[in-house]
Chain A
Amino acid sequence: MLKKLLAVSAVAAMLAGCSTTGSGAGAPVDDGTAGIQTSGVGNYGDGDSGLTNPNAMVPGADQRYFFDFNQSVVHSSDLPSIKVQAHYLISHPSAKAELQGNTDRVGSREYNLALGQRRADAVKQTLLLDGASKNQLSTISYGSEKPISDEDAQNRRVDMKYGSH
């Protein structure tokens, strides 16, 4: 019976993209990005028409911040949005967010893994400076492993995902 149950859970996990297999040393992987290999298109940001962030000023909404080629400097145009999210975190001390760093698909994968981490850390630092607290924020880098678009510029991003991370 237990075996059967496990098998059913395993199949369910597979159907869900085999994504939430554990927490490990870092934060759990997010369901929303795990299925992208099959189609090359994520189920996050389906409505995005360009490098804009329609929910930028909505407190507590998931965010996507873009970066320049090989850069990990937060765009000044994203600072107001980050401030809004920091204030949301200040006023909701139990809220948590994961910052997922990503890069374009070209170049060295390991350099990209480090670059994605530095991008996630850059957003985290900005949120901390705006008053969010450390225990509300976790970071992870996917480097160039989880692209969402054929457009390189769309892939140079940090996804801020609220949840119980």
Chain B
Amino acid sequence: MRKLLLLILFLFCIPAFAQMNLTLTQGIAGAMPIVIDKFTNDDPNVTNVINNDLNYSGRFKSVSSNGDATLKGTVTTTWSGYKINFQLFGKNNEQLLNQTMTVSKNQIRQAGHHISDLVFQTLTGIRGIFSTRIAYVLVHNGRYSLDVADYDGYNPKPILNSPQPIMSPAWSKDGRHIAYVSFENGSPEIFMSNVANGSRTLLSHFPGVNGAPAFSPNNNRLALVLSKSGVANIYLMNLASKSLQQITSGNAINTEPSFSPDGQSILFTSDRGGSPQIYRKVLPNGSTERVSYNGTYNARASFSPDGNQIVMLHVGDNTNGYGIGLQDLQTGAYLTLDNSGNDQSPSFSPNGQMVIFAKKSGGDRQLAIVSTDGRIKLALPSDVGKVQEPVWSPFLN
């Protein structure tokens, strides 16, 4: 009965969409000049998608001549869509890529992103993120929407729309599911939605806090936070059996678990030392060590895809409020990536080159992207509402 009522409720409430437009706000001096010739017969304008991708990356600058590389292509209209041939040439006109792909009419942006990925990987040796997606929470007209969009903000689609807060989206490592916290039944509960078809499962609804879901690398387990036996502590849930194992204890807050890429350790936020700081628990031997020593407040940490760095929400001794910090786990070196004073929710791109986060901009919360060397900056403003809690998908292909 309640479910039916909720369903009807959802039908009556119009889903919120945000149109977001990525813009490069700070590029680097050494960006590689690349000539991107408009593809022949390019009515669907796939060239524009590629041009934007490569410029957004900050590592390339499109020029009309004298580039270090040249991309050319031809679009042929077929009965079902398009055939796209593209060729990439190096500085001495040597051919680096020559491929043909067939796509349907509504796959033009995907085709462009795919070509951008190949060009980016060929010229930099690093896998491109142009075919990845982001999830985030849009707050608009008093409603909350958990949306999934392409990395550049295109094709936003809601997977949940609710009159009550939605928090903490987390991608499964295969990109098929998103776990999140929803207050739709009054208190914070953890759900998991199938991204493709929207079907969902209620995973956790104990009394008190149910929060901070994070998938293990093999997607067998979910780390989560429960306050059912007092203060918030971290548990591991076996997703098949739903059995729980408590992995932190004590009277301090322990929250925001995040698995290392090898699944052997977990980063988390704890105020056991007075202020929130980042700790790491090694699962096989149970040992715990403090990881963050720089600053008065460090939270929401996660590992880079190679496990060598962590990104976190950071308040320094001399910084202006909440910023985004990057720490090298080997050397301990620390770098401030952004310091708007009201930053939140940093999340690595799956190639480890960029970090997406939410920042306060002109009174509203918007998304921004920064490279892990701090030199490339992008803004992803929304035309409506507040956009918060971005999380970057894993590689999806």
A residues bordering B, Cβ < 8 Å?
Answer: 6-7, 9-11, 13-14, 17-29, 34-35, 37-38, 70, 106-111, 113-115, 117-118, 121, 139-143, 145-146
Given the interface pairs A10-B9, A21-B9, A23-B186, the reply to whether A110 lies near B208 with Cβ below 8 Å is: no
Contact partners of B209 in chain A: CB under 8 A: 113-114, 117, 141
B299 engages A108 (CB within 8 Å): yes
A10 engages B8 (CB within 8 Å): yes
Contact partners of A143 in chain B: CB under 8 A: 167, 188
- Supply 29 A–B pairs (Cβ within 8 Å), ascending by A: A6-B8, A10-B8, A11-B12, A13-B5, A18-B9, A19-B163, A21-B6, A24-B185, A25-B187, A25-B189, A26-B186, A26-B187, A26-B188, A106-B321, A107-B313, A108-B299, A108-B300, A109-B168, A111-B256, A113-B232, A113-B255, A140-B186, A140-B187, A140-B208, A141-B208, A141-B209, A142-B165, A145-B165, A145-B167
The 4 closest A-B pairs by CB, nearest first: A26-B187, A18-B163, A24-B185, A114-B232
B211 engages A113 (CB within 8 Å): yes
Q: Provide the bound-state CA to CA distance between A111 and B211, in Å.
A: 10
- Interface hub of B141, B163, B184 (most chain A Cβ within 10 A): B163
CB nearest neighbor in A for B233: A114
Q: Provide the bound-state CA to CA distance between A118 and B184, in Å.
A: 22
A108 engages B344 (CB within 8 Å): yes
B163 engages A17 (CB within 8 Å): yes
B159 at the interface (CB under 8 A from A): no
A127 to chain B, nearest CB (A): 17
B196 to chain A, nearest CB (A): 26
CB nearest neighbor in A for B184: A21
A73 to chain B, nearest CB (A): 13
CB nearest neighbor in A for B365: A105
Contact partners of A25 in chain B: CB under 8 A: 185, 187, 189, 205-207, 210
Contact of A27 among B143, B184, B187 (CB under 8 A): B187
Q: Provide the bound-state CA to CA distance between A59 and B276, in Å.
A: 37
Given the interface pairs A38-B141, A140-B186, A145-B183, the reply to whether A114 lies near B211 with Cβ below 8 Å is: yes
CB nearest neighbor in A for B297: A107
CB nearest neighbor in B for A116: B209
B270 to chain A, nearest CB (A): 9
Contact partners of B142 in chain A: CB under 8 A: 17, 35, 37-38
B160 at the interface (CB under 8 A from A): no
B4 engages A14 (CB within 8 Å): no
A72 to chain B, nearest CB (A): 9
B167 to chain A, nearest CB (A): 6
Contact of B300 among A11, A21, A38, A111 (CB under 8 A): A111
B207 engages A117 (CB within 8 Å): no
Q: Provide the bound-state CA to CA distance between A156 and B367, in Å.
A: 26
A23 engages B313 (CB within 8 Å): no
Contact partners of A22 in chain B: CB under 8 A: 2, 6, 185-186
Contact partners of A24 in chain B: CB under 8 A: 185-187, 189, 205
Contact partners of B345 in chain A: CB under 8 A: 109
Q: Provide the bound-state CA to CA distance between A24 and B183, in Å.
A: 10
A84 to chain B, nearest CB (A): 26
Which residues of chain B from 1 to 40 have any CB-CB distance to chain A below 8 Å in the complex? 2, 4-6, 8-9, 12-13
B253 to chain A, nearest CB (A): 4
A74 to chain B, nearest CB (A): 16
Which residues of chain B from 182 to 210 have any CB-CB distance to chain A below 8 Å in the complex? 183-189, 205-210
Quick one: CB contact mask for B273-303 with A, threshold 8 Å, 1 for yes?
A: 0011000000000000000000001011000
B186 engages A29 (CB within 8 Å): yes
- Interface hub of A25, A113, A142 (most chain B Cβ within 10 A): A113
Contact partners of B9 in chain A: CB under 8 A: 10, 13-14, 18, 21
Quick one: CB contact mask for B155-168 with A, threshold 8 Å, 1 for yes?
A: 00000000111011
CB nearest neighbor in B for A25: B205
Q: For the A-B complex with A10-B9, A19-B164, A141-B188 known, give 17 more contacts whose Cβ atoms are closer than 8 Å.
A: A7-B8, A14-B13, A21-B186, A22-B2, A37-B139, A108-B256, A108-B276, A109-B344, A109-B389, A110-B225, A111-B255, A113-B167, A113-B209, A117-B227, A140-B186, A145-B183, A146-B165
